[in-house]
Structure 1
């Protein structure tokens, strides 16, 4: 489990040329190629494809992005601040049927235990962290090892993606 950053919508995780109908490769593919096998960044590109070319997930994400006032990096910091002595694992922009956006931040301690923190994407307020109840000792050991080996930060992965495709980071 590395710090994988992907854009909204469904993409084939094993594909090196992730595309939407009639568009260039997504930023997640570009960042995956440029950053490292375990790190990539996804960007919602608000300038390319027409609405008919998006999956339902991508269209929903594109509708949520303009409502976001707190960017991923500030939300990720709120997540790590909510659980002392943790490192970021992932963050993903979410929204409800009424369009209220939030970030789901996953953070981990050095022993590999993980927590999910929901961060309001408008106010930046973090909810109470939730510990991952279905982690076993092997999962924790594996994640702790990956965190210790990580060389690319979420911010670096996102920068690679946004340098190649202008847009808004929707998940890391």
Structure 2
């Protein structure tokens, strides 16, 4: 017998080659699948440009809807109101002996405007306009800083509610009295300065104090072209314009 190692038959060799190749292919496929899975897990999910992810909040997807709604409300209020800001201011001041205007705003009449709660009890000399109708909500202060609220129908010009503001502390009254003593510019002068460059309809006037302790008149002017609202800050001591802010919402 020959001492040389016997070689396997050719058929056996072929089978072994096939099995070996299959094992290599399975290993390669497994590695490829593992790599693809790892990449998919690591990569962030992409969405087409301009589209929101499935988990995005519906309320954050359409900011333009809110902007259009605010402009529509401004247009409706300004269009329905027949009483201008200065007429409303005169009416409000006459309701409080020795009072001065500190705040005035054109707004929709709400249920709260006709409520009888509060202390002291409000006076209701005339029927309130229907809910959603335009009204001027005015605040008039006496020299000691006591604030009175007067609601005026912005269509008829009639006062339908007056009330001393409840829960005013001594500090609140002192702060208001202090601003009034510093405000040498009248609301009329402040509005004239604000509308000299910012054209539109005045829908609000408020006596305030900024971070620099400057007493100011904040005048709201609504453009009848775009229905954007511009708030113009006027120095209440000299009538100079301190700043502007456009609210296009």
Q: TM-score interval w.r.t. the shorter chain?
A: 0.5 to 0.7
Give the distance between the partners of 2:178 and 2:191, measured in 1 at CA. Answer: 22
Residues 101-116 of structure 1: pairs in structure 2 closer than 5 A: 101-116=134-149
- 1:156 equivalenced with 2:169 (yes/no): no
Q: CA deviation at 1:54?
A: 3.8
- 1:123 equivalenced with 2:136 (yes/no): no
Give the distance between the partners of 1:86 and 1:96, measured in 2 at CA. Answer: 24
Residue in structure 1 matching 2:88, options 45, 51, 75: 75
**Runs in 1 of length 4+ with deviation above 4 angstroms?**
96-99
Aligned residues: 122
Maintained 8 Å contact 1:83/1:129: no
Maintained 8 Å contact 2:104/2:136: yes
User: What TM-score, normalized by structure 1, do the two folds share?
Assistant: 0.64
Give the distance between the partners of 1:112 and 1:85, measured in 2 at CA. Answer: 11
RMSD: 2.1
Residues 23-38 of structure 1: pairs in structure 2 closer than 5 A: none
Give the distance between the partners of 2:71 and 2:104, measured in 1 at CA. Answer: 17
Q: CA deviation at 1:133?
A: 0.7
Maintained 8 Å contact 1:88/1:108: yes
Maintained 8 Å contact 1:68/1:121: yes
Maintained 8 Å contact 1:64/1:99: no
Q: CA deviation at 1:103?
A: 0.1
- Cα deviation per residue 1:116-155 (whole Å; 9 max; x = unaligned)? 1001111111123111112100110111111011022111
Give the distance between the partners of 1:152 and 1:52, measured in 2 at CA. Answer: 39
- Cα deviation per residue 1:10-32 (whole Å; 9 max; x = unaligned)? xxxxxxxxxxxxxxxxxxxxxxx
Of Structure 1 and Structure 2, the greater strand share is in: 2
Residue in structure 2 matching 1:171, options 186, 193, 204: 204
User: What TM-score, normalized by structure 2, do the two folds share?
Assistant: 0.45
Could you say which structure has the larger radius of gyration? 2
Residues 48-67 of structure 1: pairs in structure 2 closer than 5 A: 54=67, 56-67=69-80
Structure 1, unmatched stretches of 5+, are: 1-50
Q: Secondary structure at the match of 1:93?
A: strand
**Structure 1 range deviating more: 51-60 or 153-162:** 51-60
Q: CA deviation at 1:157?
A: 1.7
Maintained 8 Å contact 1:91/1:106: yes
Q: Secondary structure at the match of 1:94?
A: strand
Give the distance between the partners of 1:101 and 1:84, measured in 2 at CA. Answer: 26
Q: CA deviation at 1:63?
A: 1.6
